[in-house]
Amino acid sequence: MAEDVFKKIVSHCKEYGFVFPSSDIYDGLGAVYDYGQNGVELKNNIKQYWWQSMVLLHDNIVGLDSAVFMHPTIWKASGHVDAFNDPLIDNRDSKKRYRADVLIEDQLAKYDEKIQKEVAKARKRFGASFDEAMFVQTNPRVLENAKKRDALHTRFKTALDANDLAEIRQIILDEGIVCPISGTRNWTDVRQFNLMFKTEVGSTADGASTIYLRPETAQGIFVNYLNVQKTGRMKVPFGIAQIGKAFRNEIVARQFIFRMREFEQMEMQYFVRPGSELEWFTKWKEQRMAWHQALGFGSENYRFHDHDKLAHYANAATDIEFRMPFGFKEVEGIHSRTDFDLSQHEKFSGKSIKYFDPETNESYTPYVIETSIGVDRMFLSVMCHAYTEETLEGGDTRTVLRLPAALAPTKLAILPLVRKDGLPEKAREIQQQLKFHFNCKYEEKDTIGKRYRRQDAIGTPYCITVDHDTLADNTVTLRDRDTMEQQRVPVEQLQSLLEDKVSITALLKKLA
């Protein structure tokens, strides 16, 4: 059922110009996608919402745009050359490759699902008198599944911490995890696989040196932190925000734009005094959750997931997960990265990277809180939440994208009722006035009903219809995408009426 919905979302994205497989006429390229005419607008709006929430709303956060190519030693210093690995495992029968850690995480989620099913069944049976807390503490089936889950969790965490690949394989065997394609347990050994793409700079093979496509944008911020701090006269605490492409040779790439080999990140590194990092970590957790929730998708669709295995650089880490059709999944990571990255760059470059704090008269290496969100994953979560199939009064159906108006690709469709009597000219005249303020689209082909449906399908929050009365009294019909209600509005009021509803400023004000 949920899978069906997801398939529909993927085909909707293609059919309505949001997302196309890359190199489509050559049958695509694995885990690489292109954004079409509507997709690029939605994506730009997401980026703008993030950028403005960081750089406009905070005096002490500034932007940066660093290059994809960087000195190769940066990736040695950051630990990516040695440790940016995923454990992979193959099924010998289906020849399919999986991330061993993800297979086990899915198994953990299955125990949780079983518990949730028991709870749901009991809630139905007991109705209003149901005491969930009591139920989960006493029901034998819930207790049994919780016990299995906790035991697996402990074993998994121990294996990860020890980097024990044989034990990870053994867990997969002991849990009876099968390949979803072949249905067998014929697994290979687990191997580590480095996710960085390599290429060469320099024209001759001899003189060329290997460099990497950046797997995260963060390192560009770290190596520029002093440039920005000095030239911008920034005082700790301060942040640097960046949006840019990142590249990872992902082992498994089967979930549309959830896991891509070329994707975009929005990262902000916040430089703080050593010792204050956990306080800032908590503040950023709250701020980032508020950013997500301001979109109005419902707080029940988000949760924090604290990391079991901290990355080599972190002393606290959490993910913000969103309920996708295929379960709660990470959209954003918030990490307390200590002074690891800056200290490593100091060591590897041999240059001092310390900050002189004029308030304490001390020099130190700042600690860093990172917020890191994938533009594409955010896009997917917005799409998944917005996609709705509705049955209307009278039995008609419609597919509508209930996008937050501020993110919608087109804000306003301008539709002449008929293609004659001067209505197209009048509609064009209105478009000429409004196009400086909103992304407006003019459409005259097909019946008005069909045109409304097309706009619903791309999430346009408002349509205006220009009819014969418009010529007489300069009013239009304004139709709301979600309620489908229509009201008569003077043309000269359109701009002020809509501005508050469709602008990113309206979203930002919720955060301030």
Give the interface with ligand ATP as residue ranges (CB under 6 A): 216, 248, 250, 259-260, 263, 265, 330-333, 372-374, 376-377
CB of 311 to ligand ATP, least distance (A): 8
Q: Which is nearer to ligand ATP, 64 or 412 (CB)?
A: 64
The DSSP line for 423-437 is HHHHHHHHHHHHTTT
Distance of closest approach, residue 348 Cβ to ligand ATP, in angstroms: 21
**Shortest distance, position 215 Cβ to ligand ATP, whole Å:** 8
Question: Whose Cβ is closer to ligand ATP: residue 165's or residue 195's?
Answer: 195
Q: Which is nearer to ligand ATP, 89 or 236 (CB)?
A: 89
**Distance (Å, rounded) from C-alpha 433 to C-alpha 218?**
42
Shortest Cβ distance from residue 192 to ligand ATP (Å)? 15
The residue of the chain with the least Cβ separation from ligand ATP equals 374
Q: Nearest approach, Cβ of 314 to ligand ATP (angstroms)?
A: 10
Tokens of 166: 């044989």
Tell the smallest beta-carbon distance from residue 455 to ligand ATP (Å). Answer: 29
Do you find a cis peptide bond into 274, omega within 30 degrees of 0?
A: no
Q: How far is the CB of 334 from ligand ATP (least distance, A)?
A: 9
> If residue 112 lies in a helix (H) or strand (E), which one and from where to where?
helix 100-126
Are the CB atoms for 291 and 50 separated by under 8 Å?
A: yes
For residue 255, the minimal CB distance to ligand ATP (Å) is 9
Nearer to ligand ATP, 93 or 250 (CB): 250
CA distance 476 to 465: 6
Dist CA 386 CA 380 (whole Å)? 10
Nearest residue to 220 (alpha-carbon basis) of 50, 61, 68: 68
Tell the residue number behind the tokens 């002991």, with chain if given: 174
- Give, in degrees to the nearest 5, the angle at Cα 296 between 33 and 404: 50
| Pairing mode, strands 440-442 and 412-416 | parallel
* DSSP 3-state percent helix, strand, coil across the chain (nearest 5): 45, 25, 30
Closer residue to ligand ATP (CB): 216 or 341? 216
Cα dihedral sign for 178, 183, 189, 192?
negative
Going edge to edge, which strands form the sheet with 191-194?
A: 97-99, 85-90, 191-194
* Distance linking the first and last C-alpha atoms of the chain: 39
Assigned token pair, 321: 């997960």
Cα of 280 vs its chain's centroid, Å: 22
The helix/strand/coil state of 30 is coil
Nearer to ligand ATP, 211 or 260 (CB): 260
Of the pair 214, 481, the CB lying nearest ligand ATP is at 214
Running DSSP on this structure, what letter comes out for residue 55? Answer: I
The nearer residue to ligand ATP, 277 or 321, going by C-beta atoms, is: 321
**Complex with ligand ATP: residue 228 or 266, whichever CB lies closer:** 266
Of the pair 269, 372, the CB lying nearest ligand ATP is at 372
- How far apart (Å, rounded) are the C-alpha atoms in residues 105 and 97? 16
CA dihedral 221, 50, 337, 310 (to 10 degrees): -130
Q: Rounded to the nearest whole angstrom, what is the least distance from the CB of residue 375 to ligand ATP in the complex?
A: 8
Q: In angstroms, give the least distance from the CB of 436 to ligand ATP.
A: 34
Minimum gap (Å) between residue 218 Cβ and ligand ATP: 9
Shortest CA distance to 333 belongs to which of 430, 431, 423, 266? 266
52 DSSP 8-state letter: I
Question: Measured from the CB of residue 216, what is the shortest distance to ligand ATP in angstroms?
Answer: 6
Least distance in Å: CB of 150 to ligand ATP? 22
Which residue matches tokens 């975009």?
A: 264
Q: Are 504 and 54 in contact (CB under 8 A)?
A: no
332 versus 339: smaller Cβ distance to ligand ATP: 332
Q: Tell which residue, 358, 354, 379, has the closest CA to residue 367.
A: 354
Q: Could you tell me how many residues make up the chain? A: 512
Q: Tokens 């690891």 sit at which residue?
A: 340
